[in-house]
Chains A and B, each alone.
Chain A
Amino acid sequence: MALRTLNSVAARNLARRKGRYLLTASGIALGVAVLFAVQIMSGATNRALDRAIHGGAGKDDVYITPVGSFDASFPPGVFERVQKLPDVESAGAGTGFRSAVTSGREKPAIDSRRPNFVFVNGVDLATDRKVREYDVRDGRLFAGAADEIVLGPHIAKTVGVKVGDDVAVAAPAGQITLKVVGVLADSGIGTGNGGDIAVTSIPLSQRMLGKGAVFTSIDVVLRDGVDAKKWIETQRNALGDGVTMQKATDGDAGFRSFIAAVNGALTLGSAIALFVGGFLIFLTFSLAVAERTRTYGTMRALGALPKQIRSVVVREAALLGLGSSVVGLVLGYALAAAAMQLVSSLLYLRLPGLGLPVGPAGFSIAIGVIISVAAAWLPGRRAARLSPVTAMREGGVADDKAGRPVIGAVLVGLGMALVFALPGNGARVFPTLLVLFGAVMLVPIMLGPLARFLGAVTRRLARGVGAIAVMHLVKERSRSAYTLALVMVVLAMILAVGTSNASMAHTVDKVIERQAGGAVQVGAPGALDPAVERELTAIDGVKATTPMRFGQLDVVETGAPPRQFFTMIDPATYFSVGSFPWVDGNDGDARDAMTAGSGIILPEQQAIKLDVKRGGPVRVRTSAGVKRFTLVGTFGQIGNFPGPVLSVKDAALFGAGRPNGFLLSVAGGRAGIERVRRTILTNLKPRYNVEVDTSQTIKDQARAQLQGFFALAYALLFVAALVGILGLANTMVVSVLSRTREVGMLRSTGTLRRQARAMVLVEASTLALVAYLLALPLGWLLSTGIVVSQRATLGFSIDYVFPWLLVPALVILTVLVAAVGSLIPARRIGRLEIVDALRFD
């Protein structure tokens, strides 16, 4: 190939050092893969949510529900008033409740924990068809008020029923057997609640609910051109205080924000993966420029302009970035497919296929190329600025300045301050990167002394010549410093994630222990017949019971999430069965205040957000208008359970009637708990379809879910660790290459092959161990930041627990990284023939 332009030098450079560029390329490929995978996943989860909400909502503009408890229904006359409101095109009322279905053919197994929950919706087909599409896949829709039901496609599949089969539906008024006459298609209403839906007539639904001729929801279609949000603002008070109005498409805001939190964490992960990948490119190009100093000097002497030289370097990077990004896309697609499997099984969320994400693919490639070019920019500039004379002199470029410790320290400080000050989701990415950048700038000044210190031990790996390997690190800092920084960042991230994992696991244990210690929880998807309590108390071994009620609550304060899950307790009995993991407050005071009424207990993080202290006011929307409640205490909370806690004394204000579940205290330890659990399942499940949880199963589930998410985090870290190894291997290869003649000389002076090989190991392990030492404080800094921001995102207090076991475990990992990173270069050295080494140029 004839050399046409200077730019084809870029391609030749890439072709010449294939192995090394392959290492670099894999770094950026992995970064792009993670970025792409995260985008696909967040896209898919959002689409899944949109589909569920829009499919279920249809043309519906506004969705009106009663305030408060899940068992609440509209007072009479509300539907008629809605129909008469201005700008209403059409309105349809329905009666729905949460339930569970089982196939009528088989008796429910006691130990089965099949997620067969459905939302049963009683509708008036004539009006509702104007709002939603009713496509039936098999069979037909229900006729009149017969004992017939139509199932959504997903629940039909989980329960394993076909048209013509009987199903047992757990209804608040008791178990009832219905005939399945149709299965909905996966479109329109069939996509509502993720396909876990059942539709039937209003009269049948009202009969199953057992509260008479009541409605529980109203769908409103507005006239064309009317804005739903504005309409809600003006009509909010027209229906009185007992109802909540929301835009139909705003459904599931809580779940959406949870998904956003997960995506935020993943975005942070991909930002770090890209940072590390970009870093690797920077490293490779810095080394390449140093190595080709003489080539560039010759080109400059022959009249190449500085900008031509820079363009050679930058083009090389762009080419590399493009190639590896494309590979990254393929990897990312596979990664996303695997991760989606995990997420959907953890969240019981059905996600659609990945599709062909063209936008994210383009974006990921662009980012891959931009980061590659940006990373090569500095080395390119350095190459362009070389004076031909310096460049051609033996020895090449002088060692870099010793980093920028002052800027580094400032960046670390600023980043940490921001982590504590801006505890949002996406906002976390920026300060974390600041801290990492700052830490990287601090590395060069610390490398020398630390390498000397650790070298006293590591040099023993290579008898005699080990000291020379350590000297390389001490004296040629610029090359080593950035590799070291790379390994340091990876180790620090592992430490930080490990810490947040340990802290969360510890907190989950502690909170669950205090909240449900020794108790058994009995619940049903809908409301329970009060008679259940008498049956429960009668069971041998049950010491005490207390009823629980759940619902959705609007706290009318800035900063409070809309329609959050709340729990209603009976203060007379609750505290003899359970408690709260109090942050501020105690059982005695809480019982007294809740018995008096108008008391509320809040999760600590929400109280902080609302800026209210114990004894302070909290305004809440009730069926009698916005009322002031008094904060009785705050407690630590995991997830969204129990949420704000109200007293049964105020039940009327929230439409709360029948309990949704019971909490039991049981005698006889674990065996007693197990006995009670079995008795409840045998006696009560067939009639009420109750679910029984013990504190142990709840704890196990919470822990399993937590571990699932951390598995995802650790998978990302594994990728980062791979990149770290690649970086180290890369540097060691360059280090060995650039010292080929020196190695030849050492060998000719009597250094054995194995001594020369061991020198590589000494250098790599010293480097990695210095990285480890620096990663300890950095990891600690990052982990405090992460734990603090997790507190804010997840809305519960996390105790900081440092995973001391990780400290020795990471040493092993570090040595492993060094050993793997030295493999290729050591092999090279071992194979080197002295005569060839001496001729090497």
Chain B
Amino acid sequence: MGTEAGAVVLEARHLSKAYHQGGAVEQVLDDANLEVGAGRFVSVMGPSGSGKSTLLHLLGGLDTPDKGDVLLDGQALSAMSDDERTRLRRHRIGIVYQFFNLVPVLTVEENVALPAVIDGKAPASYAAKLAEVLELVGMAEHKGKQPAQLSGGQQQRAAIARALFIEPAVLLADEPTGNVDMRTGSEILALFADAQRDLNQTIVMVTHDPRSAGYADEVLLLRDGAVASTLDVGRATRGVAKKARDHESRPRAVLQWLETLDAGGAARRTRV
């Protein structure tokens, strides 16, 4: 990673983004701020349409904000050209979507090595790394298959392998478990947790599922275009035994947190 522990890897400053449709303007993000420290696992929650995906796209340099800026390792994305941002994604940012992560005509192996392929690198130069990530996500035996021959969970593993293949400064994920059953979802989340623990991987994951959010160190709630509240999951579950903590208390803490916020939200609504 090359980033010293505790340092801020990814930062969003005063992000604003509006969509214009016909005459109507929809202000999706309005002065959103966040900081992600090196090796942290941050989860972003929020109701449907609250702008989670929009935020993630801005963080990954896939889209540009109307106002504000995103900084990766202290470098402002807005100062970069389209090509520079693209190269940054190729080398420093790993992205996993809910579905359609893979190129249908390529094998798992080819899909995982895609960033290197795009770079025009010789296969020999990355063969070892490729084998390593495939092993890591448990896809080594399926490396020759095409996406259509894989289950939804296997497809997500391949996508995660590709994100990890470049040893990214940050791994961004948009509902990575949204398309799979609960058990497979848990396996995938475990992969994220492993990556954080073993590789000190910085992760930002969008989800609407409190159980998934419970895997993170920190949960952000996006509401009215900004980060409305933050939960430090570690602190909220301090003192709980490790085994119980992971599978019960962490999700419960997230749920409780959401309920209190929701009550506040309801209270605010009645006031208006």
Q: Is the CB of A471 within 8 A of B100?
A: no
> A468, A749, A753, A835 — which one has the most chain B CB atoms within 10 A of its CB?
A749
Residues of B within 8 A of A211 (CB): none
Q: Is A834 an interface residue (CB 8 A)?
A: yes
Specify the chain B residue showing the minimal Cβ separation from A753.
B82
Q: Is A465 an interface residue (CB 8 A)?
A: yes
Q: Is A838 an interface residue (CB 8 A)?
A: yes
User: Given known contacts A742-B104, A746-B114, A835-B57, is B120 in contact with A752 (CB within 8 Å)?
Assistant: no
Provide the B49-93 mask, 1 if CB < 8 A to any CB of A, else 0.
000000001001011000000000000000000110011011100
Which of A472, A741, A755, A838 is the one whose CB lies under 8 Å from B105? A472
Q: Is B162 an interface residue (CB 8 A)?
A: yes
> A395, A751, A833 — which one has the most chain B CB atoms within 10 A of its CB?
A751
Residues of A within 8 A of B186 (CB): none
Tally A-B pairs: CB < 8 A: 73
Residues of B within 8 A of A741 (CB): 100
- In the complex, A748→B95 CA distance in Å? 8
User: Given known contacts A395-B148, A472-B105, A742-B103, is B60 in contact with A748 (CB within 8 Å)?
Assistant: yes
Residues of B within 8 A of A833 (CB): 63
Which of A471, A750, A838 is the one whose CB lies under 8 Å from B106? A471
Q: Is the CB of A750 within 8 A of B101?
A: no
Q: In the complex, how many angstroms separate the beta carbon of B58 from the nearest chain A beta carbon?
A: 9
Residues of B within 8 A of A745 (CB): 97, 100-103
Which of A395, A746, A750 is the one whose CB lies under 8 Å from B103? A746
Q: Is A760 an interface residue (CB 8 A)?
A: no
Residues of A within 8 A of B95 (CB): 748-749
Provide the A458-490 mask, 1 if CB < 8 A to any CB of B, else 0.
000001110110011011100000000000000
- In the complex, A191→B91 CA distance in Å? 84
Residues in A375-413 with C-beta less than 8 Å from chain B: 395
Residues of B within 8 A of A472 (CB): 105
Residues of B within 8 A of A395 (CB): 104, 148
Q: Is B117 an interface residue (CB 8 A)?
A: yes
User: Given known contacts A749-B114, A750-B115, A755-B118, is B103 in contact with A468 (CB within 8 Å)?
Assistant: yes
User: Given known contacts A395-B148, A749-B95, A752-B86, is B120 in contact with A464 (CB within 8 Å)?
Assistant: yes
Q: Is the CB of B87 within 8 A of A750?
A: yes
Q: Is the CB of B83 within 8 A of A748?
A: no
Q: Is A747 an interface residue (CB 8 A)?
A: yes
Q: Is the CB of B105 within 8 A of A753?
A: no
- In the complex, A574→B238 CA distance in Å? 121
User: Given known contacts A465-B117, A476-B105, A834-B62, is B97 in contact with A749 (CB within 8 Å)?
Assistant: no
Provide the A136-170 mask, 1 if CB < 8 A to any CB of B, else 0.
00000000000000000000000000000000000
- In the complex, A467→B106 CA distance in Å? 10
- In the complex, A464→B90 CA distance in Å? 12
- In the complex, A388→B104 CA distance in Å? 22
Q: Is the CB of A749 within 8 A of B90?
A: yes
Q: Is B232 an interface residue (CB 8 A)?
A: no
Specify the chain A residue showing the minimal Cβ separation from B100.
A741
- In the complex, A409→B91 CA distance in Å? 51
Which of B57, B83, B117, B148 is the one whose CB lies under 8 Å from A467? B117
Residues in A702-747 with C-beta less than 8 Å from chain B: 741-742, 745-747
Q: Is the CB of B118 within 8 A of A751?
A: yes
Which of A474, A750, A834 is the one whose CB lies under 8 Å from B90? A750
Q: Is the CB of B118 within 8 A of A746?
A: yes
User: Given known contacts A468-B103, A476-B105, A835-B57, is B119 in contact with A753 (CB within 8 Å)?
Assistant: no
Residues in A450-464 with C-beta less than 8 Å from chain B: 463-464
- In the complex, A751→B104 CA distance in Å? 17
Residues of A within 8 A of B106 (CB): 468, 471
Q: Is the CB of B118 within 8 A of A835?
A: no
Residues of A within 8 A of B121 (CB): 464
Q: In the complex, how many angstroms separate the beta carbon of B18 from the nearest chain A beta carbon?
A: 14
Specify the chain A residue showing the minimal Cβ separation from B89.
A750
> B63, B86, B89, B91 — which one has the most chain A CB atoms within 10 A of its CB?
B86
Specify the chain A residue showing the minimal Cβ separation from B62.
A834
Residues of B within 8 A of A464 (CB): 117-121
Residues of A within 8 A of B114 (CB): 746, 749
Residues of A within 8 A of B117 (CB): 464-465, 467-468
Q: In the complex, how many angstroms separate the beta carbon of B112 from the nearest chain A beta carbon?
A: 11
Q: Is the CB of A838 within 8 A of B89?
A: no
Q: Is the CB of A753 within 8 A of B97?
A: no
Specify the chain A residue showing the minimal Cβ separation from B88.
A750
Q: Is the CB of B90 within 8 A of A835?
A: no
Q: In the complex, how many angstroms separate the beta carbon of A115 from the nearest chain B beta carbon?
A: 65
Residues of B within 8 A of A755 (CB): 118
Residues of A within 8 A of B63 (CB): 833-835
> B63, B83, B97, B118 — which one has the most chain A CB atoms within 10 A of its CB?
B118
Residues of A within 8 A of B60 (CB): 748
- In the complex, A749→B91 CA distance in Å? 9
Residues of B within 8 A of A742 (CB): 100, 103-104
Q: In the complex, how many angstroms separate the beta carbon of B238 from the nearest chain A beta carbon?
A: 38
- In the complex, A749→B82 CA distance in Å? 13
Provide the B95-137 mask, 1 if CB < 8 A to any CB of A, else 0.
1010011111110000000110111110000000000000000
Q: In the complex, how many angstroms separate the beta carbon of A502 from the nearest chain B beta carbon?
A: 42
Q: In the complex, how many angstroms separate the beta carbon of A836 from the nearest chain B beta carbon?
A: 9
- In the complex, A477→B117 CA distance in Å? 23
- In the complex, A253→B60 CA distance in Å? 80
Specify the chain A residue showing the minimal Cβ separation from B172.
A748
Residues of A within 8 A of B148 (CB): 395
Q: Is the CB of B118 within 8 A of A750?
A: yes
Residues of A within 8 A of B162 (CB): 749
Residues of A within 8 A of B118 (CB): 464-465, 746, 749-751, 755
Residues of B within 8 A of A746 (CB): 103, 114, 118
Specify the chain A residue showing the minimal Cβ separation from B57.
A835
- In the complex, A693→B268 CA distance in Å? 106
> B83, B114, B115 — which one has the most chain A CB atoms within 10 A of its CB?
B114
Residues in A244-284 with C-beta less than 8 Å from chain B: none
Q: In the complex, how many angstroms separate the beta carbon of B52 from the nearest chain A beta carbon?
A: 13
Residues in A263-318 with C-beta less than 8 Å from chain B: none
Residues in B30-62 with C-beta less than 8 Å from chain A: 57, 60, 62
- In the complex, A742→B86 CA distance in Å? 16
Q: In the complex, how many angstroms separate the beta carbon of B168 from the nearest chain A beta carbon?
A: 11
Q: Is the CB of B86 within 8 A of A838?
A: no
- In the complex, A753→B106 CA distance in Å? 20
Specify the chain B residue showing the minimal Cβ separation from A835.
B63
Which of B100, B105, B115 is the one whose CB lies under 8 Å from A475? B105
Residues of A within 8 A of B101 (CB): 745
User: Given known contacts A395-B148, A752-B83, is B105 in contact with A468 (CB within 8 Å)?
Assistant: yes
- In the complex, A838→B119 CA distance in Å? 22
Residues of A within 8 A of B89 (CB): 748-750
- In the complex, A467→B120 CA distance in Å? 10
- In the complex, A476→B104 CA distance in Å? 10
Residues of B within 8 A of A468 (CB): 103, 105-106, 117
> A395, A467, A468 — which one has the most chain B CB atoms within 10 A of its CB?
A468
A and B contact pairs by CB, cutoff 8 A, 24 listed: A395-B104, A464-B119, A465-B118, A468-B105, A471-B105, A472-B105, A475-B105, A745-B101, A748-B60, A749-B90, A749-B95, A749-B115, A749-B118, A750-B87, A750-B89, A752-B86, A753-B83, A753-B86, A833-B63, A834-B57, A834-B62, A834-B63, A835-B63, A838-B100
Q: What 7 pairs across the A-B complex have the smallest Cβ distances?
A: A750-B90, A464-B120, A475-B105, A471-B105, A463-B120, A464-B118, A834-B62
Other A-B pairs, 13, CB within 8 Å; known A465-B117, A748-B89: A467-B117, A468-B103, A474-B105, A742-B103, A742-B104, A745-B102, A747-B86, A748-B62, A749-B89, A750-B87, A752-B86, A835-B62, A838-B62
- Measured CB to CB, the residues of B under 8 A from A are 57, 60, 62-63, 82-83, 86-87, 89-91, 95, 97, 100-106, 114-115, 117-121, 148, 162
- Measured CB to CB, the residues of A under 8 A from B are 395, 463-465, 467-468, 471-472, 474-476, 741-742, 745-753, 755, 833-835, 838
